[in-house]
């Protein structure tokens, strides 16, 4: 059971990281356009 819980946490962290990576990429172009 102890091993199963970390796996779930790891999956959630990975999903959060993926979401974080996707969000900045979409907001970056807007920031660059405003900078220009």
Tell me the pLDDT band of 5, cut-offs 50, 70 and 90.
low
Alpha-carbon distance 22 to 16, whole Å?
A: 10
Alpha-carbon distance 27 to 16, whole Å?
A: 16
Tens of pLDDT, residue by residue over 6-35, are 666 778 888 887 777 766 656 666 656 666
DSSP 2-35: TTHHHHHHHHHHHHHHHHHHHHHHHHHHHHHHHH
pTM: 0.33
Alpha-carbon distance 17 to 23, whole Å?
A: 10
């Amino acid at each position: 059971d102890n091993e199963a819980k970390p796996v779930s946490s790891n999956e959630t962290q990975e999903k959060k990281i993926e979401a974080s990576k996707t969000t900045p990429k979409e907001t970056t172009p807007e920031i660059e356009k405003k900078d220009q």
